[in-house]
Amino acid sequence: MTMQDRAYAAAIFIILGICCIGAYVAVSGFTNANPEGLTLSFGNVTATPTVGVTIEIPTETPAPPTNTPLPPTETPIGYQPTLPPQATRGPTLDFIPTVATPEFTATPEASATPVGCGAEFCPRLGPADPGAPGGNPCPSNLIWGFVLDRNGQGMPGIKIHFRDAGGNAGEKDSKGPPDRPGIYDIPVGSGVWTVEIMGRKDTLRSAPFQVSVGQPWSGTGNCPTRVDFVQQ
């Protein structure tokens, strides 16, 4: 290094020293003139730095949120909500059962027929009936009655054979609707008559039955001129 270079370096250090002394004097004078120090403003916040060039900027602590969310709820496995009970309807009278009307039976209760008459139809006396032919419950001028099947239902179209007191013979068929099914009637005079059911070729289908005609009914018991033929 030459002498000239050394002179330049010494001059630079001297100048730097003078500048540092001037800066120190300036800062000291400003501090003495403003004992409150340097005041810096940031918006609504004012900060005063202290010596040592340390600037503290206060910070605001955020307020806690006002709406705190509720913790989530979990539905237990297998949970079923309880349903409100359904309204029940009490018994009503909306439905009224219809009682079936029993069908008309052709003949009322009659006297017992002897067991073992030995034929397809067995004859028996029957009670007086307001529905007898002519309206008389027990007419004395007729032999009448019903031909009935095993279920007590009237059987139309069955031939009833008769013989009068003098031996004269004839036939009558049991009737159907509009008459009462199975009813028959034979006009008579007096004496003892015989009635029976005949089949084809004059084969008997019932035991013969004798009737004393022309006698008035006493008002009690079976009608003496009513003869029912009941299928066995």
Query: What tens digit of pLDDT does each residue of 160-216 get?
Result: 999 999 999 999 999 999 999 999 999 999 999 999 999 887 788 999 999 999 888
Three-state SS at 26:
helix
The closest alpha carbon to 153, from 182, 114, 192, belongs to 182
Cα(161)–Cα(199) distance, rounded to whole angstroms?
Answer: 10
What lies within 8 Å, CB to CB, of 161 at 6+ separation is: 169, 170, 171, 195, 196, 197, 198
pLDDT digits 0-9 by tens, 28-53 = 665 555 555 544 444 554 444 444 44
Cα(146)–Cα(150) distance, rounded to whole angstroms?
Answer: 13
- The pLDDT of residue 116 is 58
112, pLDDT greater than 50: no
| Torsion angles phi and psi, residue 161, rounded to 5 | -95, 140
118, pLDDT greater than 70: yes
Q: Which of 65-69, 111-115, 143-147, 149-153 has the lowest mean pLDDT?
A: 111-115
The closest alpha carbon to 205, from 215, 213, 195, 192, belongs to 195
**β-pair partners for 124:** 228
Stretch 133-162: mean pLDDT: 95
